[in-house]
Amino acid sequence: MYAFFLHTEVDKDVADYLSQKGSWLDALTGNDCLICTFEKPSNWDEGWKDAWKKQLGDDFDKNYAQWEALTNYSKAAYASSLADRLGVPLNHMPCMVFVENLHSHKILQIPFIANKDDYDRYFMDVLTCIRAAAKADQSKRLTTLDSKWRKYWIKWIIPQKVKEMSKSIQEWGSIISDTKDEVVNVLDIVSPIIKRISFQG
């Protein structure tokens, strides 16, 4: 599966966490889920760099130099543009958006919790659900993730923690929705790198 972490500069706790522990999350998901987030390379930890080196091989240095040279980088612009194309309301951010494959028209949204001190334990539960879902048939991975996650949602969420979000997310902890375009076509606004990775192995 693929997970897109949609957040902006306003979501400082989320941004800081992903900069510091993104590679930890990536390592725990292994081959079960590719995590995608918008972050300038200067904010990456060494684990993020190592992960991209493995994915891009000889192309890493060239791409890294281009990313470092970005002068008009805006996390909010990238994240909100992708959210619009995926049909994710802006007031659902920060959130994680999961897809079974890049040719899918379905996404699953799971919100971040409010308390940054609980992020480690929260993500361990999310990753537990991802591993279970990855074992399902590809066409059933989103519904499996949705079903597994709802059991953990009760443990984590009080509606006041996600006031901004829709009632359905407050109640169930996730929401499955359709996208207008295949996810792979939505991603052309971000980077062809994701397309390339999706077709490897």
Q: What is the pLDDT of residues 30-53, one digit of tens each?
A: 888 888 887 777 777 777 778 778
Nearest-10 crossing angle of helices 119-134, 12-29 = 40
The pLDDT, as a whole number, for residue 180 is: 67
If you average pLDDT over residues 150-161, what whole number do you get? 69
Domain tally for the chain? 1
Q: Could you report the per-residue pLDDT of 170-186, keeping only the tens digit for each?
A: 555 565 666 766 666 66
Predicted TM-score of the model (pTM): 0.72
Residue with the two structure tokens 């790198």: 193
Residues 26/48, Cβ–Cβ less than 8 Å:
yes
What's the domain range around 181? 2-198
The structure tokens listed for 160 are: 């006041």
* Cα 117 to Cα 25, 28, 120, distances in angstroms: 16, 19, 8
